[in-house]
């Protein structure tokens, strides 16, 4: 394909595959633990982080990482310590961090900056440095997840029991928030601040529709995430669409198709369990 | 026998614990000890603070005042001792649509022993399998938990607690939403475990079924109304205080039943 002949296109594909996989893996935990809104909160907070970087004249990626980690941990601590619900805490940070970004960009006259590319992605402008940064973070996050696979699953499934028998579910929750923050910032170039939470939630939500096994959900989510990024890029290139939007809309299409064919819809929750709950005896 | 009981520190010691939640007093100076090898039930009406007390005992909720010891150690200092605990949470708090199989769920009961970041060993898998056999659902091992009946699902979470080979087993409303057959099997199983030396603390609103199997009952309604042998409960007006209406125990053979008059 002549598509791959351009180096900017090669970089876009590499970044798309990395970000698609990263978002899909993190998304499984986000969907199962009900953290979608935190994901959206952190992604909007990254706007404030980017603005700080632009104001200070440093690489906005790193200020966004620090800022998103701070906001994520802030939300987590507020929930853990105070009498504030998760969605309330996110609601407070959500808009205020964006407002901070707008304020800072106004002060530095930053509307010359290409705001649109931060908000909706600019995957075709991905640099070699971006690719290496994304690859490094992807390796870090994916090896953390591989290492703590069973513990994260336990903490997401039943954090109280985990804590009771000595699995540090509280610390794993903060690790998860940190992973979400890193993933969000790495995805800004590909789909942008506004669309990144969709790339985290949608592939995992589609996978959830198709399986009742954790491992399969993980693999399907990765397939949907990577598939949406690659197919979205190709379609965007051929038809002249905005790549970020094409990627997100494709994964949404996949989600709706999965919902239609979901075994969760077709069968009753316990079709061949008898009333008493007693196991079938052969005697 | 009482001498040996006294010489050992109790498995659970709750000392003058008070908890407020959103400015409301949920637990009011509660003290409770559970000696080793006994089966104790905490009963009380809805909103009496039963689950809160259980969570305080497990160290999940920090009390405003008072202290809790498990295995003779302050609960906030527990380390590897946590792998001596089996916990069956209220089934309502579990997301039953989570994509996970029966065996994967039961294996989680071992993860405190396995250690963070380590793969489950062959021993862990054997213990999980043994626990599944003990509750009689080994044949369901590969089934997703959402494709189970209420009774089967309850057995899964009991098996998960047993997989940890616990010295102390805590259960929060294990008979809620479970049919009579499974309830009977559950209590026989708990009695069997008690005979093996497991200390059991159970929370329930189900007064009648509990009484036949337990050593002592703690009646909770924000404060501890009574803590005595189940047959002594008849003589007190603990239940009247607790439920706010006239109640009486009737004995049918060995299983006491509770009769609540119109109120």
Our count of domains for chain B comes to: 1
Answer whether residue B256 is part of any domain.
no
Query: Mind telling me how many Å the CA of A269 is from chain B's nearest CA?
Result: 5
Element (H, E) at A87: helix A86-107
Task: Determine the Cα–Cα distance for residues A116 and A49; give it in Å rounded to an integer.
Answer: 16
Q: Comparing A57 with B230, which gets the higher pLDDT?
A: A57
3-class secondary-structure state, position A235: helix
3-class secondary-structure state, position B254: coil
User: B158 and B88 in contact (C-beta within 8 Å)?
Assistant: yes
Q: Residue B16 is part of a domain; what is its CATH number? A: 3.40.50.300
User: B184 and B210 in contact (C-beta within 8 Å)?
Assistant: no
Residue given tokens 């407070």 in the structure block: A92
Q: How confident is the model at residue B238 (pLDDT cuts 50, 70, 90)?
A: low
pLDDT of residue A273: 43
What pTM did the predictor assign? 0.87
Residue B216: pLDDT over 90: no
Query: Mind telling me how many Å the CA of A84 is from chain B's nearest CA?
Result: 11
Question: Residues of B9-47 as b/e, b for ≥16 C-beta within 10 angstroms?
Answer: ebbbbbeebbbeeeeeebbeebebbbbbbbbbbbbbeee
For residue A121, give the DSSP letter.
-
Answer whether residue B242 is part of any domain.
no
Residue given tokens 């065996």 in the structure block: B103
User: B43 and B220 in contact (C-beta within 8 Å)?
Assistant: yes
Residues from chain B that touch A211, judged by Cβ atoms under 8 A, are 99
Answer whether residue B238 is part of any domain.
no
* Intervals of chain A under pLDDT 50: 1, 269-283
Q: What would the two tokens of residue B221 be?
A: 């309604």
Percentage of chain B exceeding pLDDT 70: 82
What part of B 189-248 touches A (C-beta under 8 Å)?
none
pLDDT of residue B223: 76
pLDDT of residue A59: 87
Class for the domain spanning A2-263: mainly alpha
Task: Determine the Cα–Cα distance for residues A59 and A37; give it in Å rounded to an integer.
Answer: 27
Element (H, E) at B152: helix B150-163
For residue B84, give the DSSP letter.
G
The partner residue sitting opposite B111, judged by closest CB among A32, A147, A167, is A167
∠ CA B87-B44-A166, rounded to 5°: 15
pLDDT of residue A4: 59
DSSP of B117-159? T-PPPHHHHHHHHHHHHHTT-GGGTTSBGGGS-HHHHHHHHHH
| Cβ–Cβ gap B108/A161 under 8 Å | yes
pLDDT of residue A2: 55
Answer whether residue B246 is part of any domain.
no
Q: How confident is the model at residue B172 (pLDDT cuts 50, 70, 90)?
A: very high
Q: Give Cα A14 to chain centroid, integer Å.
A: 17
Residues from chain B that touch A161, judged by Cβ atoms under 8 A, are 87, 89, 108, 160
Please name the residues in contact with A248: beta carbons below 8 A apart, sequence gap of 6 or more.
Answer: A191, A195, A198, A199, A202, A228, A232
What part of B 13-32 touches A (C-beta under 8 Å)?
22
Residues from chain B that touch A160, judged by Cβ atoms under 8 A, are 55, 58, 60, 87, 89, 93
User: B153 and B91 in contact (C-beta within 8 Å)?
Assistant: yes
User: Which ipTM did the prediction report?
Assistant: 0.86
Residue B217: pLDDT over 70: yes
B143: containing domain? 2-233
Answer whether residue B31 is part of any domain.
yes
Q: Which residues pair with B251 in a beta bridge?
A: B256
Query: Mind telling me how many Å the CA of A78 is from chain B's nearest CA?
Result: 16
Q: Which residues pair with B216 in a beta bridge?
A: B40
Tell me the pLDDT tens digit for each residue of B103-153. Answer: 999 999 999 999 999 999 999 999 999 999 999 999 999 999 999 988 899
Please name the residues in contact with A91: beta carbons below 8 A apart, sequence gap of 6 or more.
Answer: A41
Query: For chain A, first and last CA: distance in Å?
Result: 64
Please name the residues in contact with B137: beta carbons below 8 A apart, sequence gap of 6 or more.
Answer: A279, B102, B152, B155, B156, B159
Task: Determine the Cα–Cα distance for residues B67 and B75; give it in Å rounded to an integer.
Answer: 8
Q: Give Cα B146 to chain centroid, integer Å.
A: 23
| Cβ–Cβ gap B109/A208 under 8 Å | no
Q: Which residues pair with B224 in a beta bridge?
A: B220
Q: Which residues pair with B172 in a beta bridge?
A: B203
B142 vs A: CB within 8 A:
no
């Amino acid at each position: 394909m002549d598509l791959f002949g351009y180096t900017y296109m090669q970089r876009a594909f590499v970044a798309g595959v990395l970000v698609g996989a990263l978002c899909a893996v993190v998304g499984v935990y986000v969907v199962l633990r009900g953290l979608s809104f935190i994901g959206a909160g952190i992604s909007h907070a990254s706007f404030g982080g980017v603005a700080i970087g632009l104001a200070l004249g440093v690489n906005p990626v790193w200020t966004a990482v620090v800022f998103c980690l701070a906001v994520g941990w802030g939300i987590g601590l507020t929930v853990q310590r105070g009498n504030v619900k998760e969605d309330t805490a996110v609601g407070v940070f959500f808009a205020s961090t964006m407002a901070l970004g707008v304020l800072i960009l106004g002060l530095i006259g930053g509307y010359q900056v290409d705001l649109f590319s931060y908000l909706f992605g600019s995957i075709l402008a991905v640099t070699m440095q971006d690719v290496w940064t994304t690859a490094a973070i992807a390796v870090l996050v994916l090896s953390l997840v591989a290492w703590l696979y069973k513990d994260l699953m336990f903490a997401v499934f039943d954090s109280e029991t985990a804590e009771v028998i000595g699995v540090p579910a509280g610390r794993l929750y903060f690790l998860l928030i940190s992973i979400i923050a890193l993933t969000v910032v790495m995805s800004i170039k590909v789909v942008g601040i506004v669309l990144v939470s969709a790339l985290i939630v949608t592939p995992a939500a589609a996978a959830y529709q198709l399986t009742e096994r954790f491992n399969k959900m993980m693999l399907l989510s990765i397939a949907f995430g990577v598939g949406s990024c690659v197919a979205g890029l190709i379609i965007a290139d051929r038809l002249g669409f905005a790549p970020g939007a094409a990627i997100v809309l494709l994964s949404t299409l996949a989600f709706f198709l999965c919902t239609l064919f979901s075994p969760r819809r077709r069968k009753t929750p316990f079709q061949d369990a008898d009333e008493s709950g007693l196991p079938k005896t052969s005697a | 026998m009482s001498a040996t009981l006294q010489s050992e520190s109790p498995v659970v010691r709750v000392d003058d614990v008070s908890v407020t939640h959103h400015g409301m007093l949920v637990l009011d100076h509660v003290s409770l000890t559970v000696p080793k090898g006994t089966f104790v039930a905490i009963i009380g009406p809805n909103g009496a603070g039963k689950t809160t007390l259980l969570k305080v005992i497990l160290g999940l909720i920090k009390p405003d005042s008072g202290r809790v010891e498990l295995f003779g150690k302050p609960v906030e200092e527990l380390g590897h001792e946590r792998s001596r605990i089996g916990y069956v949470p209220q089934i309502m708090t579990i997301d039953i649509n989570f994509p996970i199989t029966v065996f994967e769920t039961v294996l989680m009961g071992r993860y405190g022993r396995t250690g963070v970041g380590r793969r489950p060993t062959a021993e862990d898998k054997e213990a999980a399998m043994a626990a599944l056999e003990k509750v009689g659902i080994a044949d369901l091992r590969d089934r997703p938990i959402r494709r189970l009946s209420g009774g089967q699902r309850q057995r899964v979470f009991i098996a998960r607690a047993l997989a940890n080979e616990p010295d102390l087993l805590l259960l929060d409303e294990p008979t809620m939403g479970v049919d009579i057959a499974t309830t009977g099997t559950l209590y026989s199983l708990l009695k069997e475990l008690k005979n093996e030396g497991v200390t059991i603390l159970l929370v329930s609103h189900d007064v009648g079924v509990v009484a036949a199997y337990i050593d002592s009952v703690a009646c909770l309604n924000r404060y501890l109304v009574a803590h005595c042998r189940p047959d002594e409960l008849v003589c007190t007006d603990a239940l009247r205080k607790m439920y706010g209406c006239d109640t009486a125990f009737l004995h049918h053979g060995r299983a006491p039943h509770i009769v609540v008059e119109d109120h």
